Each structure stands twice: as structure tokens, then as C-alpha cells.
Amino acid sequence: LGRSGLRVSRLALGTMNFGTSGYHASYGKTADECRPILHHYLDAGGNFIDTADFYTDGDSENILGELLSRSGIRDRVVLTTKFTNGMVPGDPNGGGNGRKHMMRALDESLRRLRTEYIDLYLLHSWDRLTPVEEVMSTFDDLVRAGKIRYAGISDTPAWYAAQAQTFAQANNLTPLINLQLPYSLIDRVIETEHVPMGQSLGVGITAWSPLAQGFLSGKYHAEDKGVAGSGRLSATDGAGLDLTESSWQLLAPLSEVADKLGVTMAQVAINWVATQP
């Protein structure tokens, strides 16, 4: 992954819907429903699992911690979690990317995940406040303490990620190896700056929502601009997804390619993302 020796499977297992509490509860899964999903992924050869402290108000980490502990495979997987979002209402330092919250958030994640270390720890989103020097020096301290193995960031401007990596390299600190960003057939904004930045500075890019929150899964229809079934997109009225006329027009050729290859639209959409440079 990126300019590192960490080996990860091409497809990661995102676990934002593991659990039935908090913001993601409307489409969440119980622990019993999560178990076969996790084992199906592992049996297929996957080793890259992604979560965050904020997902289902901590349920996702709790469920993963229990399942990995029971299976005895913690050291065989690359476990990723993230910090930034506030988990302590009323506390001004209960969120954000400052050192105080960053270190407390990690300790809480370690407790919920029932592990002594995180393979890849990510800044979840840019708080528009914390200096990049503070973030990178804290990442370095956490690596030296043995609490995390690698560092990365998610959902930040390209200039911020570039500044972070350059500061780390110039000061011999732990570098970033991962930049996690939204990317799909209908959301290609990162190609302009983030991708060439990652290629130049050795930061491997992982894509979240390659199905555009389910829009490219096959249950949305261009003819009537409607949806069959339920899911994140329909449950949250778009969840901030910017659907344009060209977005709907893309569904037809996507369906044609899927039919020609004898696979699902979801498989085509995910494969397109996974094979981009």
C-alpha cells in the first residue's frame, strides 16, 4: 500500500454498516448479520478491513473486535480505523484532529477493537483547524509507542495531504502511506489533483463508495430515475450525493457492459475503480 511494505488485498471490507446505533443505524446490521459477511470476505482471500470510531456510534469497532478475537485471526488482517468525529458531546476536545483527541480516540478504539495496535490509523476528515505539523508529529509518536503501524488520512484537500507528506519527509517522521477518498464512475474529482499527488509522493489511494452509495449497484433505473429496494441512498434521500443528468445516463452503458460480460453492474463499477492507476 503506497510506498510501504504493507500488503493489502485489492478489495477492502468496509464496515460502516456493522452495528445498529448512531448515525448509520437506518441501514445497519446486527452482530449475527455481520459475522457471515466478515467470514465470506476472509474466505475469499481478503485481508484489509476498514472501520472508524464514529461508525454506528462505536458498534462497528465493538463487533469487529469481538469477531476477530473469537476467530483468532487478528494478526492476519490489516485493520484500519479512523478518528476525527466527536464522540464526547459537550467536550470541545472530544473531536477534531488535535493531539489530545487523537490520542484519546486511539485508546478508545483499541479498547473497542480488543487489540494492542492498529495497522493503519487514519485522520477521518479535515477539521480546518489543526496544524498539519501537530497531526504528523502525533502520528509519529503513536508509531514509536507501538500503538499504530502506519498512518494515513481521509477526505482532505490535496494541498493538505501534500503538505503533511512533505513535512514528514523533511523531518524524518512517519510518512503517510494511504489517502482514502470517494471515487466512482460518477465521482472522478480526485483525478485532477489527488491521484497525481499520491503517485508523486508515494501515497496509495483507496476509494470509498465505489458504488456511489449504491447508485451503481443495479437497483436504480435511468428510465424513470427510480429505485427498487432500500439502502443507504434511498434511506437518506441521497446522503449528499450529487446526481446529475449524466449520472443517470451512465447507468445504461453500465448495464450493457454487465450484461455482455455476464456479471452484475456492481461488479463492473467496483472493477473499474479497482483497476485505475
**What's the CA gap between 270 and 33, in Å, rounded?**
23
Return the amino acid letter for 271. Answer: N
- DSSP run (H or E) holding 131: none
**Residues that are catalytic:** 55
Quick count: other Cβ atoms within 10 Å of Cβ 14? 19
DSSP string, 42-78: HHTT--EEE--TTGGGGHHHHHHHHHHHHHT-GGGSE
Q: Are 99 and 131 in contact (CB under 8 A)?
A: no
**Cβ atoms of 211 and 266 closer than 8 Å:** yes
